[in-house]
Amino acid sequence: MNRAGETSFDELLAFLLGQTTAQEDARLLSRARQLRAEYWQNRIQVHIINNVRNGNCREDCGYCAQRRTATEDLPDYGLKSDEEILKEAEAAHAAGAYRYCMVMSGRGPGRNTVERVSRVIGKIKERYPLEICLSAGILTDGQLALELKNAGLDRYNHNLNTSKRNYENIASTHSYSDREATLQTMQGAGVSLCSGVIVGLGEEPDELIALAARLAGLGAVSVPVNFFIPVPGHGLKEEPRLTADYCLRVLAMFRMVLGPAEVRLAAGRELYLDRELEEAMQLANSLFVSGYLNVKGSSPDATVQRLSRAGFAIETVEGHLELDETGEIAPQPDGLRMKTLQELRPFH
């Protein structure tokens, strides 16, 4: 059921459910670490998100602070100016980012938005040796997908988020099928796929395994594994009770199913895996720094220093980031902090 061909669905399910023995746990975790080392050695790719359009969203995704029915007031702004986006790309490059991810609120881009974003992508590519990922929602127009590809877009992110069975419980304004169709459209245009999950939305463990296999089948080369963050205004009926142990098992399962894919430790790592960061990065091989869409994360410098000291090589498009290991590691954040408007738009 996986690319390594050594772990069955039943073994993975027992592992996620915590029904395996200590010896079996050790064997499966070792297998996941071996796969990570085989394909990625000790390398880590760093990603930085730029929230280029925030709030004022008509969708009702239950996990999102920007959902149309959210009760928490968030800064609303339209698509940032070209100058703002370029300055943030410059800052991402200076921070040692391998990939620069532009994320937009809303259902999906129309022609005018695609034209603007394509122009900005071209400018970024001219100035900085960054890989560029765009997350702009549902896009099933093949011509628009080609325009983005021709502008230099490397990846398109559109998470499946949860199982097909559970999807109607977290969103009603679009469907799981809309998300799959977007991935197929972008793949057809020659854009590589970034698609992942948000663990803790009400899915069952067996559905997580099936979802990992589906992502492998769709050809996703990058799979962000998010852990649900209880942002103000979220729409879940019941907040999940995630533990560090379960989150590590989920990361190991994704590695065993997806083999060589870029498995990314994404949102929620500070809440659930702060003390286990080094252990988690023996399973994943990339992560976000500088926070997420609306939630402030840990210090990027502190995170990079911490991982460098643990023996990981921080990969950039220009090589490996050389760090001074004499600096102090800043304390990690305590709890959930939302980004301010100044943090969302530092160059406005």
pLDDT given at position 341: 74
Q: What is the pLDDT of residue 340?
A: 74
Give me the catalytic one of 31, 36, 57, 345.
57
Catalytic (active site) residue 61? yes
Catalytic residue among 31, 36, 53, 64: 64
Q: Give me the catalytic one of 31, 36, 53, 61.
A: 61
The fourth-level CATH superfamily of domain 9-317 is Aldolase class I (3.20.20.70)
The span from the first CA to the last CA of the chain, in angstroms, equals 49
**pLDDT for 72:** 64
| Of 194, 249, 269, 345, catalytic | 194
Report CA Rg, the chain.
19
What is the total residue count of the chain? 348
Compute the distance between CA of residue 137 and CA of residue 103 in angstroms, rounded to an integer: 9
Catalytic status, residue 64: yes
Residue 264 annotated to the active site: yes
DSSP string of 284-304, one letter each residue: --EEEES--SSB----HHHHH
Annotated active-site residue in 31, 36, 133, 269: 133
Look at residues 302, 296, 297 and name the one whose alpha carbon lies nearest to residue 327: 302
Q: Which amino acid is at 132?
A: I
CA distance 123 to 285: 28
Distances (CA, A) of 134 to 99, 105, 211: 10, 12, 22
Catalytic residue status for 57: yes
Q: pTM of the prediction?
A: 0.89
- Choose, from 31, 36, 99, 101, the residue flagged as catalytic: 101
What is the C-alpha to C-alpha distance for residues 318 and 329, in angstroms, rounded to an integer?
25
Q: What is the pLDDT of residue 316?
A: 63
Mark out the alpha helices in the chain (DSSP H runs). Answer: 9-17, 22-40, 82-94, 111-127, 142-151, 176-188, 205-218, 244-258, 269-272, 277-280, 300-309, 341-344
| Digitized pLDDT (tens) for each residue of the chain, 348 residues in all | 444 457 899 999 999 999 999 999 999 999 999 999 999 999 998 887 888 888 788 888 888 877 766 656 777 889 999 999 999 999 888 878 888 889 999 899 999 999 999 999 999 999 999 999 999 999 999 999 999 999 999 999 999 999 999 999 999 999 999 999 999 999 999 999 999 999 999 999 999 999 999 999 999 999 999 999 887 777 677 777 899 999 999 999 999 999 999 999 998 888 899 999 999 999 999 998 766 666 666 667 788 889 999 999 988 654 444 444 444 433 444 456 667 777 778 887
* CA separation, residue 248 to residues 22, 110, 185, 211, 225 (Å): 15, 39, 32, 17, 11
Ranges of each domain in the chain: 9-317
How many whole angstroms separate alpha carbon 31 and alpha carbon 252?
9
